[in-house]
Structure 1
């Protein structure tokens, strides 16, 4: 396969290094990633200035590597539009430092980069692990990522993203294909002192409040399973289209 690799932690992150190291041993790869940390960038793109793309060298990596002074979605767009001589078969975004579970996917630059690939009709996978993963954990996650990619590729539709989360110890549990859970944060902003009486300063922090619904990624990751959730960028709530239509058009029919 020809694989485009990206992330939101930056081109020098350990996760992208071990993912690329594993994949390039078996497949043709190109790396296009942000020049620095871009976590929680969501699906934002750079509009009001040019973005700069640089060819860089990652020690121990033989694949072509580019850094982009933009967001994760920028990386995928510029790779597809300008850097790739041939269409890639698959996009893999990661390995992200920190799980992307439940509603986290709405903020995640890692997941958004994969979704951008799906918008271009390229099958895509986002991969995340727990925070502060050591080398052995990342190497294992990279091997699992490769296996999931190879097992899914022939069946994965070109507008679908697989959101994959790999726990620290999954060796005895295996994979659960599941829905997104509900993850919210309590007391999300901590106020800090400031010398200016006309301003207030807040640091995003807080405590995770998970709703552990069975069959959700939040539930299964805590049980030690690898979680895989198929995502799609169409956010339409098809279940209530007729209902909303009745609210807004019933007066017109009278």
Structure 2
């Protein structure tokens, strides 16, 4: 398969390097990623300035790689339109530095890059690894991503589905298995740290993760030691009340 790799941690991040190292064993890949870290940029795109694209060399990676002076969604756009002529079988975004579970999928540049691929009718996957004490689990996450591609490629590699893969910070032999599940109620107690500056005030966003443990969700199962897989879709329509609201008019 021909795979496009991107992320939101930057083209020189360890996560995308590890993913590329694993996937280029069996696939043709091209890497197009932000020139700098663009975490939590969601689905923003660059409109009022040109995107600067540069070919870069990643030591130990044989595949071509490009940096883009924009967001993860920008990277997918420019890759599909200018660097690959749209000839891509699948887009993989990651491996993200930290899980993208619960409400994080709305903020995540990693997930948004995968969603951008789905908008272009290209199957996609977001891959994220739990981080703890500065330690990562990228090699294990890369292997699960590779295995998931093999499992879905014949029947479930559909252009309107974004596969959201999260891997806990455990050795592979200690992982309990894979759970197919919905996203959970992972939220934050956010606040702003206020400081005075010469011509006004500064507000630095701070916060702590709420310990929400709804069962049958990605948040719950990751904490239990499972890899989680959630099929996502970019259609935000609330179908539960669509017909009811239609009757009002």
Q: Same fold (TM over 0.5)?
A: yes
Partner of 2:29: helix, strand, or coil? Answer: strand
Matched, 1:6 2:6: yes
**Could you report, residue by residue, the CA deviation over 1:57-92 in whole angstroms, capped at 9, with x for unpaired residues?**
001000000000000000001000010046111110
Higher Rg: 1
The equivalent of 2:120 in structure 1 is 120
Runs of 4+ with deviation above 3 angstroms: 132-135
Task: Give the aligned CA root-mean-square deviation in angstroms.
Answer: 1.4
The equivalent of 1:99 in structure 2 is 99
Of 176, 179, 182, which aligns to 1:179? 182
**Could you report, residue by residue, the CA deviation over 1:137-171 in whole angstroms, capped at 9, with x for unpaired residues?**
21121111111112112222111000010001153
The answer to whether the 8 A contact 2:179-2:227 is kept is yes
**Could you report, residue by residue, the CA deviation over 1:4-35 in whole angstroms, capped at 9, with x for unpaired residues?**
00000000000000000000111100000000
> After the TM superposition, which residues 163-242 of structure 1 pair with which residues of structure 2 at under 5 Å, given as runs?
163-169=164-170, 171=173, 172-186=175-189, 188-196=190-198, 199-242=200-243
Q: Distance in 1 between matches of 2:200 and 2:130?
A: 35
> After the TM superposition, which residues 36-47 of structure 1 pair with which residues of structure 2 at under 5 Å, given as runs?
36-47=36-47
Q: Distance in 2 between matches of 1:20 and 1:123?
A: 18
How many equivalent residue pairs? 245
Partner of 1:206: helix, strand, or coil? Answer: strand
The equivalent of 1:252 in structure 2 is none
What stretches of structure 2 of length at least 5 have no aligned partner? none
User: TM-score, length-normalised on structure 1?
Assistant: 0.92
User: TM-score, length-normalised on structure 2?
Assistant: 0.94
Displacement of 1:190: 3.4
Q: Distance in 2 between matches of 1:179 and 1:216?
A: 5
Q: Distance in 1 between matches of 2:90 and 2:135?
A: 26
